[in-house]
Amino acid sequence: MSATLIDGKAFAARVRDKVADHVTRLREEHGIVPGLAVVLVGEDPASQVYVRSKGKQTVECGMASFEHKLDADTPEADLLALVAKLNADPEVHGILVQLPLPAHLDSDLVINSIDPAKDVDGFHISNVGLLGTGQKSMVPCTPLGCLMMLRDHHGSLSGMNAVVVGRSNIVGKPMAQLLLGESCTVTIAHSRTKDLPEVCRRADILVAAVGRPEMIPGDWVKPGATVIDVGINRIDAPEKGAGKTRLVGDVAFDGCAAVAGAITPVPGGVGPMTIACLLANTVTACCRANGLAEPEGLTA
């Protein structure tokens, strides 16, 4: 491996330290405790893992964590009523509704019912519009975490060719907006892109957010490029024993690390940064709600 490893786990710990410092100041100087409410509908085991670790890290940073677990068959009206209650609750500064929702629930409707000021995922149409027009918004956590690592590694990103593979509303599109905001020349690739290997080879910054285990091989990477692997894929790992699994990203790590200048691992890359940015967004939302100075360096 010749690439520099971008250690998302260590970076996320530093972000959480900054968050915790600011939380201490809010409590000591203003008597305010930021609160994050996480809503989980159904019993998807992967989602339960994320929700648990979000709750734990929220409390470790000195904030209040409110977890709401609803049955998989919860009627839409009940979920909307819970969101309305959280919107009105002064102890709740951030609301996250874990996605995907069960199929009978309209996720656009639910997300857009969240008070945009409490939308710490940055998925509400108001925040999407604000981000797209370069105005102050809540920035989606995963792309924000990627941006923080890229800025830290490169300083300025101005003029770099960035290729984002994936165009979802939660990762690909907001990632592209942030990179455009940094004056990158941005290409968004997806399942209909012609000659994806050639498109990827033009990237100085390659962000993979596809959901296909190890789909990007080393020979799609420009020598020296920075590779950000957003993918979280659980695959069978018979080498670890019968029935065992392991996590891999959307890039074939060894092959890409041999060519890239820098690369994020999976696990320990973008994932921990996503949760750290969720905590950062909660503090930011709390400060904005109270007309107080926001922590520096924790948003886009």
Ligand X SMILES: NC(=O)C1=CN([C@@H]2O[C@H](COP(=O)(O)OP(=O)(O)OC[C@H]3O[C@@H](n4cnc5c(N)ncnc54)[C@H](OP(=O)(O)O)[C@@H]3O)[C@@H](O)[C@H]2O)C=CC1
> Is the torsion defined by CA of 183, 299, 288, 111 positive or negative?
positive
Task: Write down the least CB distance from residue 193 to ligand X, Å.
Answer: 6
**Which residues share a beta bridge with 69?**
40
Least Å from the CB of residue 34 to ligand X: 21
Binding mask 44-83 for ligand GUE (x = CB under 6 A): -----xx---------------------------------
Q: Reduced to 3 states, what is the DSSP secondary structure of residue 225?
A: coil
Choose the binding region for ligand GUE from 85-93, 194-202, 210-218, 262-270 (rule: CB under 6 A). 262-270
Site string for ligand X, 209-248 (x = CB under 6 A): xxxx-----------------xxxx---------------
Nearer to ligand GUE, 34 or 265 (CB): 265
CA–CA distance, 281 with 109 (Å, rounded to integer): 22
If binding is defined by CB under 6 A, does position 271 make contact with ligand GUE? yes
For 1, the token pair is: 């491996």
Token pair, residue 269, equals 């890359």
CA distance 281 to 161: 28
Q: Are 128 and 135 in contact (CB under 8 A)?
A: no
Which one of ligand X, ligand GUE, none interacts with residue 96, CB within 5 to 8 A by kind?
Answer: ligand GUE
Look up 48 and say whether it is catalytic: no
Out of 57, 118, 119, 121, the active site residue is 121
Burial code (b: 16+ CB inside 10 Å, e: under 16) for 118-131 equals bbbbbbbebbbebb
Element (H, E) at 35: strand 35-41
Question: Has 167 been labeled as part of a binding site?
Answer: yes
268 or 295: whose CB is closer to ligand GUE? 268
Nearer to ligand GUE, 49 or 125 (CB): 49
Q: Give me the amino acid identity at 117.
A: A
Cβ pair 127, 284 in contact under 8 A: no
Neighbour count for residue 13 (Cβ, 10 Å): 12
Total residues found in the chain within this entry: 300
For the question of residue 135 being annotated catalytic, the response is: no
Active site residue 57: no
- Contact residues for ligand X, defined by CB under 6 A: 142, 165-168, 170-172, 189-193, 196, 209-212, 230-233, 270-271, 274
Q: Which residues are catalytic?
A: 54, 98, 121
- Contact residues for ligand GUE, defined by CB under 6 A: 49-50, 96-99, 121, 141-142, 232, 247, 266-268, 271-272, 274-275
- Annotation: binding site for NADP(+): 166-168, 232
